[in-house]
A and B are shown apart, each in its own frame.
Chain A
Amino acid sequence: MVNGKKLVVSASPHLRSTQTTTRIMLDVILSLIPALIAAIFIFGPRVIPVTAVSISSAVLAEYVSRKVMKRHQTIGDLSAVVTGLILALNLPVSIPYWIAAIGSIVAIVVVKQFFGGIGQNFANPAITARIVLLLSFGPQMGNWVTPLSWKTAVTTSATPLAVGYGNAGAPSLTDMLLGLRGGCLGETCAVALILGGVYLIARKVISPAIPLTYIGTVALIMLIAGKGDLGFVAYQIMGGGLLLGAFFMATDYSTCPIKVRGKIIFGIGCGIITSLIRLFASMTEAVSFAILLMNLLVPFIDRATIPKPFGTPKKEKKAKEAAEK
Chain B
Amino acid sequence: MVKTHMAGVLSAVKKVRGGVKVHHHKNTAESEVVRMPAPAKVVIPMQQHIGAPCEPVVKVGDTVAVGQLIGDTDKFVSAPIHSSVSGVVTAIGDIKMPNGILSKAVTIESDGEMRLWEGIEPPHVETKEDLIKAVRASGLVGLGGAGFPTHIKLNFPADKNIDTLVVNAAECEPFITVDYRECIENSWDILSGVYLLKDLLGFKQVIIAVEDNKPEAFKVLKSIADHSLDKHDEVKLMVLESKYPQGAEKMMVQSATGRRVPPGKLPADVGCVVMNVASVAFIARYLKTGKPLVSRSLTVDGSAIAEPKNVRVPVGTSISEIIDFCGGFSKDPCKILTGGPMMGLAIVGTDLPVLKQNNAILAFAHDDAVLKPESDCIRCGRCATACPMSLMPTNIVRAAKTKDVSMLKTAGVNVCMECGSCAFACPAGKPLVQHMRLAKAILREEGNK
- Seen from chain A, the residues whose Cβ lies within 8 Å of a Cβ on chain B are 1-3, 5, 7-17, 19-21, 23-24, 74, 77, 79, 117-120, 253-254, 258-259, 306-313, 316
Contact = CB atoms under 8 A, between A and B. Distances in A.
A7 B349 contact: yes
B337 interface: yes
B209 interface: no
Contact of A24 (B22, B344, B380): B380
Interface centre among A7, A74, A253 (most CB of B within 10 A): A7
B393 to A, nearest CB: 10
Given A1-B348, A7-B336, A117 B429 contact: no
A258 B392 contact: yes
Interface residues of B, number: 66
Interface string B384-415: 10001111101100000000000000011001
Given A7-B333, A7-B349, A253 B364 contact: no
A7 B346 contact: yes
A232 B431 CA distance: 50
B342 interface: yes
B369 interface: yes
B389 to A, nearest CB: 4
Nearest to A316: B262
Contact of B344 (A14, A16, A23, A118): A14
A309 B429 contact: no
Contacts of B428: 20-21
A309 B434 contact: no
B440 interface: no
Contact of A14 (B262, B337, B380): B337
A77 B318 CA distance: 44
Nearest to B366: A8
A70 B318 CA distance: 49
Contacts of B412: 308-309, 312
A74 B373 CA distance: 13
A95 to B, nearest CB: 29
22 contacts: A10-B371, A13-B341, A14-B342, A16-B423, A16-B426, A17-B20, A17-B425, A17-B427, A20-B372, A20-B428, A21-B376, A21-B427, A79-B378, A119-B378, A253-B379, A254-B379, A308-B412, A310-B389, A310-B390, A311-B260, A311-B261, A312-B412
B433 interface: yes
Given A309-B390, A309-B412, A311-B265, 11 more contacts: A7-B333, A8-B334, A8-B346, A20-B375, A21-B378, A77-B376, A119-B379, A254-B378, A307-B390, A309-B411, A312-B263
A117 B372 contact: no
Contact of B260 (A13, A14, A310): A310
A15 B370 contact: no
B378 A118 contact: yes
Contact of A13 (B350, B378, B424): B424
A145 to B, nearest CB: 35
Contacts of B392: 258-259, 306-307
A107 B342 CA distance: 39
Contacts of B233: none
Interface string B408-449: 000110010010110111111101011001000000000000
A3 B335 CA distance: 13
Nearest to A298: B379
Interface string B347-369: 11110000000000000100001
A7 B370 CA distance: 11
Nearest to A13: B420
Nearest to A19: B427
B285 to A, nearest CB: 31
Interface in B254-279: 260-263, 265
Contacts of A3: 329, 332
A15 B376 CA distance: 19
A318 to B, nearest CB: 14
A120 B412 CA distance: 24
B92 interface: no
B188 to A, nearest CB: 35
8 closest residue pairs by CB, A with B: A309-B412, A13-B420, A258-B381, A11-B434, A311-B260, A310-B389, A307-B390, A309-B415
A219 B9 CA distance: 46
Contact of A74 (B20, B376, B389, B424): B376
Contacts of A9: 335, 346-348
B114 interface: no
Contact of A10 (B333, B346, B376, B418): B346
Given A12-B343, A14-B341, A24 B433 contact: no
